[in-house]
Amino acid sequence: MTVLRALVLLPALLLSYPALAQDKVLNIYSSRHYQTDEALYAGFTRQTGITINRIEAGEDALIERIRNEGTRSPADVLITVDAGRLWRAEQLGLLQPVKSALLEARIPASFREPGGHWFGFSMRARVIAYNKARVKPEEVPTYASLAEARWKGRLCVRSSSNIYNLSLMGALIARLGAARAEDWAKAVRANMARDPKGGDTDQIKGVAAGECDVAIANHYYYARLARSAKPEERAIADQVGVVFPDQAGRGTHVNISGAGVMKNAPHRAAAIRFLEYLAGDDAQRYFADGNNEWPVVAAVRVVNSVLSQFGTFRYDPVNVAQLGSNQPEAQKIYDRVAWK
């Protein structure tokens, strides 16, 4: 059976022929679109003999699809790229708890939902990018420093509705409390060089072009530019430096790419086996390096020139489930300060 990406064929096939649900297959709904993931899935099939059928779409579209499919959904596993979206799926009752001694031993507690509904398998950091010609890294050692008056008209950042910014605010609420987190958001809003627009790569490009001097972005967007085959993209990275904030304090805010087993998974045992496979050394390398991220299993080392240049860093140990549970308050704060 070949890997299926069609958004209609797989569910129709499984629902029309229930006997297929007993085959050695695993149905994955994934919002990851990285070429190296092909090797990740192939490795699982090679080890287990279980064929993977895959549907790919945006996170919100996949969650809505699973809701609409209800108890007859063929989905076994949901893979997505932010703790906030996994939390949403959990809150909607789409995921079931998993008890696995292997997952608990391999994945640090801060990177898994306490009830076992979902697990993080790679880690991404929300960093500060700065223009090397106009800013010294010691000027932006913390997230708090972005609220200083010196950065008025000098900061680029994307929309408040973006899940990465919601998760960052969720972490700040956990760290500072809602009132102080709102004070930070209000001051940062006042320092923006322009209204929020574009993605994280656009913020980094804005820094390189002099549209702003500092920006907030996930580290791997910078890494993509630095490792690009296009000279013009590497030239952008050359003009930009990266700071991992709060190394003298709680550490840099990090998020995860992760997965959970669906509540109505027709192949539950295979789904759990897949999650355990993702915690293995080889899968950790595939899972992380495909997007210039870090494995969550600390003992695993990824060969990646840009990540090696970053070196080790302290990260905020707040449990990633709090990034989701603080989302509603985070959006209210952004709305009150007119972040846009």
Domains, the chain, ordered by start = 9-122+255-301 (3.40.190.10), 123-252+320-336 (3.40.190.10)
Say which residue, 12 or 166, is predicted with more confidence. 166
Supply the pLDDT for residue 14: 43
Average pLDDT over residues 314-318: 96
The 10 Å Cβ neighbour count of residue 83 is: 30
Give percent of the chain above pLDDT 70. Answer: 93
Say which residue, 138 or 290, is predicted with more confidence. 138
Backbone angles phi, psi at 120, to 5 degrees: -90, 140
Average pLDDT over residues 22-29: 86
CB 301 within 8 A of CB 230: no
Residue 208 pLDDT exceeds 90: yes
- Find all residues with CB under 8 Å of 14, minimum gap 6, and list them: 20, 21, 27, 74, 266
Supply the pLDDT for residue 23: 64
d(CA 283, CA 122): 10
Nearest Cα residue to 73 out of 258, 263, 259, 260: 263
Reported pTM: 0.89
d(CA 36, CA 289): 8
Residue 19 pLDDT exceeds 80: no
